[in-house]
Amino acid sequence: MTKRYFGTDGIRGKVGTAPITPDFMLKLGWAAGKVFAREGRSKIVIGKDTRISGYMFESALEAGLSAAGVDVLLLGPMPTPAIAYLTQTFRCNAGIVISASHNPFYDNGIKFFSEQGTKLPDAVEHAIEAQMDMAMTTVDAAELGKARRIDDAAGRYIEFCKGTVSGDLSLKGLNIVVDCANGATYHIAPKVFRELGASVFEIGSSPDGININEDCGATSTALLQQTVVERQADLGIALDGDGDRLIMVDHLGQQVDGDELLFIIAMALHDKGRLNGGVVGTLMSNFGLEQGLKQAGIPFVRAQVGDRYVLEQLIEKDWLLGGESSGHLICRQLASTGDGIVAALQVLKAIVDTRCSLNELKSAMGKMPQTMINVRLHDKTIDVLSLSAVQSAVMALESTLGDRGRVLLRPSGTEPLVRVMVEGDDAAWVEGLCQELADVVRQAL
């Protein structure tokens, strides 16, 4: 069955444009509440990032859930992975995240977590959508859901993050720049690294409701790169607006992306005999990651793009580590979903244990030049891959690349974009080929 509202990463769009409206959120809260209340009294936790619209949607969801007879725990601004963790900690039936992740402030969205802290099964999402078609009713006054705020949520999550590394790990002597993207980790990430001994300089930690992800964070690392070099720091850590992505910067100011970070963590676990299987990447993962893992004797498989598909493969194979180039990294033995802070701690642990710099650790993976161009879709219903001009161009390009590279066209699951990616053994060549293909896509559209 096709879903009307839920995409690959929840429900997302522009604030004020259906379905990202207060009335929809009221009905969504009620519908979700009715579904989760079918097995008796339910309790749902709600957290959000720092977008100005989060307060409006929090109130609407709270009202809908209460009308369905569901109790609500309000966390306030918290990272997405923290909400997944606290859903389990408080023994809730579900968790709700109000966030549009790495998108600009004028977008927002809703993500759900199951009681295990994982993405909802398709069957539950279908059930919620079916409930949306029903007339909204309110339970008897005595059965209305109650709401309360959790004042120590941040402290609980800080201790959880610190507990994902051994108690004797010390970051003393490391000078780190942390970019919180003016998002949900602003009051958490710097404290985690400081309490473990690092010297921390903060940027992107002054949210005002509008500056989330604006020229900062995991999707825009120029400021972090500049700051690391200017302050002669050992490295930089960039999180996105909701804290589930991680990109790092080495002491030279060079970006270290999700593929390279995945490789570093995989090698560290492999060397200690703790990897317990292979690594899951995606269709977008750099071919250099696959080659580097293969040389180390580590199995590697590609899932569809999207952290939920990476997690599905990890669960199916009972492996522990997977992620995306964009910085969604899942350390399944530590957290139920992608967690930027937890992943950063794994990289920092590898640096401390090996006494190597971030630059040295990433250099062990030979990254293949890759260019990706986003082409905007004005009509999301168009199947770009079915257009004859695009199909012909892709076939011609694949013939040109041969075994020297690969090409991938993929509609974004979160934005009205088509991602055009070309990978090969020569950077300038790849960039030119990618631009040519992107031009063909634009013309065909």
CATH number at residue 325: 3.40.120.10
The torsion defined by the Cα of 260, 262, 265 and 269, in degrees rounded to 10, comes to: -130
Same domain, 101 and 179: no
Element containing residue 35 per DSSP (H, E): helix 22-36
Q: At what angle do helices 153-162 and 340-354 cross, to 10 degrees?
A: 30
Sequence-ordered list of residues with C-beta below 8 angstroms from that of 189, at least 6 positions apart, any chain: 178, 180, 237, 239, 243, 340, 341
Whole-angstrom distance, CA of residue 42 vs CA of residue 52: 28
Residue 133's domain spans which residues?
A: 11-151
Same domain, 76 and 198: no
**Using CB atoms within 10 A of its CB, is residue 150 exposed (0-12), middle (13-18) or buried (19+)?**
middle
Catalytic residue among 42, 101, 205, 326: 101
Is the overall model pTM greater than 0.75, yes or no? yes
Q: Strands of 299-355 (E only): list them.
A: 300-303, 321-323, 329-331
Phi/psi at 312 (nearest 5 deg)?
-60, -45
The DSSP secondary-structure symbol of 143 reads G
Asked if residues 368 and 288 have their Cβ atoms less than 8 Å apart, the reply is yes
Same domain, 297 and 161: yes
Same domain, 103 and 199: no
Same domain, 162 and 130: no
Strand partners, 256: 248
Last residue of one domain, picked from the residues 363, 380, 397? 363
Cα–chain-centroid distance for residue 116? Answer: 18
Whole-angstrom distance, CA of residue 179 vs CA of residue 232: 16
Sequence-ordered list of residues with C-beta below 8 angstroms from that of 428, at least 6 positions apart, any chain: none
The total number of structural domains in the chain stands at: 3
Which SS3 state, helix, strand or coil, does residue 423 take? strand
* pLDDT given at position 414: 67
Same domain, 145 and 167: no
Last residue of one domain, picked from the residues 344, 363, 382? 363
Same domain, 269 and 400: no
* pLDDT given at position 406: 87
Whole-angstrom distance, CA of residue 264 vs CA of residue 356: 11
* 377 occurs within a structural domain: yes
Whole-angstrom distance, CA of residue 173 vs CA of residue 182: 26
Helices (H), 114-188: 122-132, 153-162
Phi/psi at 43 (nearest 5 deg)?
-140, 130
* pLDDT given at position 14: 97
* 6 occurs within a structural domain: no
Sequence-ordered list of residues with C-beta below 8 angstroms from that of 17, at least 6 positions apart, any chain: none
* pLDDT given at position 202: 98
Asked if residues 259 and 289 have their Cβ atoms less than 8 Å apart, the reply is yes
Phi/psi at 321 (nearest 5 deg)?
-130, 130
Helices (H), 196-245: 222-230
* 387 occurs within a structural domain: yes
Same domain, 173 and 283: yes
101 noted as active-site residue: yes
Whole-Å CA distances, 71 to 40, 83, 90, 137? 12, 16, 12, 16
Whole-angstrom distance, CA of residue 112 vs CA of residue 96: 5
CATH number at residue 375: 3.30.310.50
Last residue of one domain, picked from the residues 110, 129, 151? 151
* 216 occurs within a structural domain: yes
Same domain, 235 and 180: yes
pLDDT per residue as tens digits for the range 337-382: 999 999 999 999 999 999 999 999 999 998 999 999 999 988 777 8
Same domain, 203 and 230: yes
* 3 occurs within a structural domain: no
pLDDT < 70 stretches in the chain: 1, 413-414
Asked if residues 153 and 81 have their Cβ atoms less than 8 Å apart, the reply is no
